Chain A
Amino acid sequence: MSSLQTIQRMMAEQFDLKPEDLTPDAQLDSLGLDSLSVIEFMFTLEDELNIKIANDRVEDFKTVGDVADIIDKIIAAQKVTAV
């Protein structure tokens, strides 16, 4: 299952954004999230989803959909490792 909805909810909550604006192709910078906000959000994601996001992934976070895709891949990889 995609983490998109979870990410939309967390993003709306953390940055006081309207959920309807957080479409998968919405650009993070046009939502007012600069690179520092993204770093803060990565921290929240790591905390709440109990995952580890590599430092070099920051650059890949361009849209809301990108974030969901990356998180999905990380969760899938962690499951494989756990097995």
Chain B
Amino acid sequence: MARRVVITGLGILSPVGNTPEEFFSSLMSGHSGIKRLQTDFIDKLDVRIGAPVGGFDPADHFSKTQLTGIERFSQFALVAAQQAVQDAGLELGEAEFGRAGVCMGSCQGGVGTLENGYRELFQRENPRIKPLTVLLSMNNAAASHVSIKYRLQGPNITYATACSSSAIAIGEGYRQIKHGYADVMLAGGTEAMLTLGAMKAWEALRTLAPEDPDDASASCKPFAKNRSGLVLGEGAAVLVLEDAGRAVKRGAKIYAELAGYDCSSDSNHITKPDAAGQTRTILKALHDAQLQPQDIHYINAHGTATLAGDIEETKAIKQVFGAHSHRVPISSTKSMHGHLMGATGAVEFMAAVLAMQHNAIPPTINLHEPDPECDLDYVPNIGRTDVKLNAVMSNSFAFGGSNAVLIAKRFKP
């Protein structure tokens, strides 16, 4: 029989806070982490905004020797994992190492290291590539460092499915426990791609929001008539997933039950979002959670603030939720923390879990005039605290068509 999976620890480094409490409190107060970037390559960018992690000094967490071998995206993952493990009060016995694992999402891994290598390679006559370039930049470095640090000898898998990478990492981690391959999984995502090459590539795709002329922090406007695209962010979020029986037995604090998950493909177009594919994914996640649409009390939308994306997601929600679609509060917290790519699914699922824990719904900021085609309740501009949330959903719909939906509900033993 399938086992139940609960969430017992949270850790995060994000553009709006470097602990779960700070993160959620920023979201509730409508605080945006989007700003004019301060980098030495700013002059080469047309779009000069992003959502960087603030107040993070690697030297606070790692020795100089360690930093030689740990890329920024792995640093983020290790710090978030440490918070989550501490939060969970997780202690693994010797016999349990093989029953614990890690699933991590990342789109671009150590892209900054690769870019430094290429700069050297293409610009100098006698290029010298740093010896650890491969080990720093490989996409699975973050998960592997986490595995090594906590002696996680079960699965160690990295997912690269663009914007849904970390939602899929969490969902697949959930399945590892649900189907008995592991008892504990550290699951989440990490991304550190506010680099010249990555930002120029996104610019070229014409999906980035230009800087708002009046207020850089208000540049990302999901579901608004004047929305103009996404804003790149960085950070990491890691959750401790645990077999419910194990968590109850050790008296762990339980945030929620991870009740449902699905990943499925649009199989349609490499970038164009597709309501039909999204609908299928949401329906299957609800089925997995054994919940009805009306049981969902909050949706953290994918809500990238691209023209097509927000309309297709709205269509999919209407398709699944029918009359209830106008009653379920939906918000895109990307309006505040930006799009963290390989980390975004985990960050947003964490926002949904914290919403349920606090009975509070974070807003979609910068939503003053809605797009007529986006006519649902997107919790515009001001968060809500007069609510009771028993089940929440987080949508992640990626380039490439890899969709993922996660559902958490209040845990009842």
Contacts and interface: CB of A to CB of B under 8 A. Distances in A.
A33 B64 CA distance: 11
A54 to B, nearest CB: 14
A37 interface: yes
Nearest to A32: B65
Interface string B49-78: 000000000000001110011000000000
A15 B62 CA distance: 11
Nearest to B59: A16
A37 B69 CA distance: 8
Interface string B63-104: 111001100000000000000000000000000000000000
B396 to A, nearest CB: 35
A23 to B, nearest CB: 18
A32 B131 contact: no
Contacts of A60: none
Contacts of B65: 15-17, 32-33, 37
B63 A42 contact: no
Interface string A1-26: 00000000000001111000000000
Contacts of A42: 131
Interface in A53-74: none
Interface string A32-47: 1100110110110011
A8 to B, nearest CB: 16
Contacts of B69: 36-37, 40
Contacts of A36: 68-69, 131-132, 135
A39 B128 contact: no
Given A37-B69, A43-B128, A43-B130, A14 B135 contact: no
Contact of A47 (B63, B68, B128, B132): B128
Interface residues of B, number: 10
Given A16-B63, A16-B65, A40 B128 contact: no
A40 B133 CA distance: 10
Interface residues of A, number: 14
Nearest to B129: A43
A16 B130 CA distance: 19
A70 B196 CA distance: 40
Contacts of A32: 63, 65
A37 B132 CA distance: 9
Contacts of A47: 128
Contacts of A40: 68-69, 130-132
B64, B131, B132, B135 — which one has the most chain A CB atoms within 10 A of its CB?
Answer: B131
B131 A43 contact: yes
A25 B333 CA distance: 56
Contact of B64 (A15, A43, A46): A15
Contacts of A43: 128, 130-131
Contact of A14 (B64, B128, B131, B132): B64
Nearest to B128: A47
Nearest to A46: B128
A39 B131 contact: yes
B126 to A, nearest CB: 11
B128 A37 contact: no
Contacts of B130: 40, 43
A42 B68 CA distance: 13
Nearest to B67: A16
16 contacts: A15-B65, A16-B64, A16-B65, A17-B65, A32-B63, A36-B69, A36-B131, A36-B135, A37-B68, A39-B132, A40-B69, A40-B130, A40-B131, A43-B128, A43-B131, A47-B128
Interface of B: 63-65, 68-69, 128, 130-132, 135
Interface of A: 14-17, 32-33, 36-37, 39-40, 42-43, 46-47
A-B complex: 9 closest residue pairs judged by Cβ atoms: A16-B64, A15-B65, A39-B131, A43-B131, A40-B68, A32-B65, A36-B69, A15-B64, A40-B131
Given A16-B65, A36-B131, A47-B128, 4 more contacts: A15-B63, A16-B63, A36-B69, A40-B132
